[in-house]
A and B are shown apart, each in its own frame.
Chain A
Amino acid sequence: MSLQCKLIKQTDYFTIEVDFVCPEEKTLALIGPSGSGKTTIIRMLAGLHKPDRGRIECGGRTLFDSENGIHLSPQKREMGYVFQDYTLFPHLTIRENAGFAAKDVQEADYLLDYFGLKHLGDRKPHQVSGGERQRCAICQALAKRPRLLLLDEPFSALDVVTRRILRTELKRIKGERKLSTIYVTHDIHEALFMADEILPVVDGRIERDWLEKIISPASSSGAQTKALREPKLSLVY
């Protein structure tokens, strides 16, 4: 499912003005420094923030159109969203969390098994590790069979090893399900590993030269810069 969007929103510090396409079954990484507006963009896509102007279209369906007064609620957008921090429901067990919005229980069980959480199903979120909680959050988002997956720095609170394992697991299942994904991160290596296309966002605008600028001339050979534009797994692993 492809996504096309044009978004304009005034924030306290700058105007977000972006226009991009996430092709079907591809992963688009929004990368940029903290406070550059990445999370606001992804929240506008999910319907959690309302853009001032613009249009969002997903799989031929208009989710937002300021000219025609269309603004679908988050419930109607059929997107999966994994938040930056742990947003599991603390009163529910890991199994109940994973199956919270599942179309069928077997789906949640399959995902728990896939992410190695089946044996923790009866525990509450505070009784498992950060990595396990974030795995469960991914299960929760995938179990509702979303049309598009939005990931907002899902691994930023995890240690390097857990982060690497999790992104490999996520990349595999995303490929299996042929999901279009928008991935917000400030980690270049993570973006290179996860994404088919990288979109640098700086002060609310897409700045395609940003990646080249932050790589010092000494460390950036022509090949490396090219690799950053066209991500290849070999660069990271």
Chain B
Amino acid sequence: MMDFLPLYLSIKLAAISTLVLIGVSAPLAYLLVHVKWPGKSFFEALINLPIALPPTVIGFYLLFVMGPRGWLGAAWEKLSGGGLLFTFTGIVAGCIFYSLPFALQPIKAAFEKVDPRLRENAYVLGLSPVATFFRVIVPNSLNGISAAAILSFLHSMGAFGVILMIGGSIPEETRVASIAIYEAVEAMDYDKAAKLSLCFVPISYLFLLFVNRLSRK
């Protein structure tokens, strides 16, 4: 009987990460596109680092940040009483850092495409910047936001190096499909690896098809 638990964990990880990523990326993209603040380009380059760095390097640094002595790990321990490393919550947090640029870039591009006069018109009509964000900018950037959601979902589904570094391979907790495939190959269980790999192909294909159709609009 095929073990679908790693696939379920991958989908759960991708879905939660995507929701958080959209919630974080949309206001962040707004701040990057529409607000002038010092150090903006430095900050943008920093959050785009995961595009340029190898996943194992990101994972290595996240190990320190999310460890008991790291600022995130310590803060989480104060808040919840438990650690972040080698937990499902930990790999969600890692995935969010790792996939942030993939969610941020399409939303930023969509916000940049919204005619600036629409924003000015909203201001003159009395809308606050926050209300303008929700009533004007977001509704006119839905294609970009959908594309960001799909890319984040796929990127999180396929995450391997980062998860291996900060989550290891704990069954029912951090052993997601990409790690289960790697382990199956290591154990020369090619049948299991092939079945799990096959599940990725139609999901990824359908999602990418959807992104292509969105970008044509």
Contacts and interface: CB of A to CB of B under 8 A. Distances in A.
Contacts of A80: 124
Contacts, number: 49
26 contacts: A46-B124, A47-B124, A48-B120, A48-B124, A75-B123, A75-B126, A75-B128, A79-B124, A81-B124, A83-B117, A83-B121, A85-B117, A87-B115, A87-B117, A87-B121, A89-B121, A89-B122, A89-B136, A89-B139, A90-B118, A91-B140, A101-B126, A101-B127, A140-B121, A141-B125, A144-B126
Contacts of B123: 47-48, 73-75
Interface in A40-82: 46-48, 73-75, 77-81
Nearest to B120: A48
Most buried by B among A47, A101, A144: A101
A193 interface: no
A155 interface: no
Contacts of B127: 75, 101
Most buried by A among B122, B124, B126, B139: B124
A140 B140 contact: no
Overall SS of chain B's interface = helix
A91 B118 CA distance: 11
Overall SS of chain A's interface = loop
A83 to B, nearest CB: 6
Interface of A: 46-48, 73-75, 77-81, 83, 85, 87, 89-91, 100-101, 140-141, 144
A74 B128 CA distance: 10
Contacts of B115: 87
Contacts of A91: 139-140
B118 A140 contact: no
B209 to A, nearest CB: 25
Given A87-B115, A90-B140, A101-B126, 8 more contacts: A46-B124, A75-B123, A83-B121, A85-B117, A87-B117, A89-B118, A141-B125, A144-B125
Contacts of B124: 46-48, 74-75, 77, 79-81
Contacts of B120: 48, 74, 83, 87
Contacts of A144: 125-126
B138 to A, nearest CB: 10
A83 B115 CA distance: 13
A140 B117 contact: no
B121 A81 contact: yes
A141 B123 CA distance: 12
Q: A-B pairs with the 8 shortest C-beta distances?
A: A101-B125, A74-B123, A81-B124, A91-B139, A87-B121, A87-B117, A74-B124, A75-B126
Contacts of B122: 89
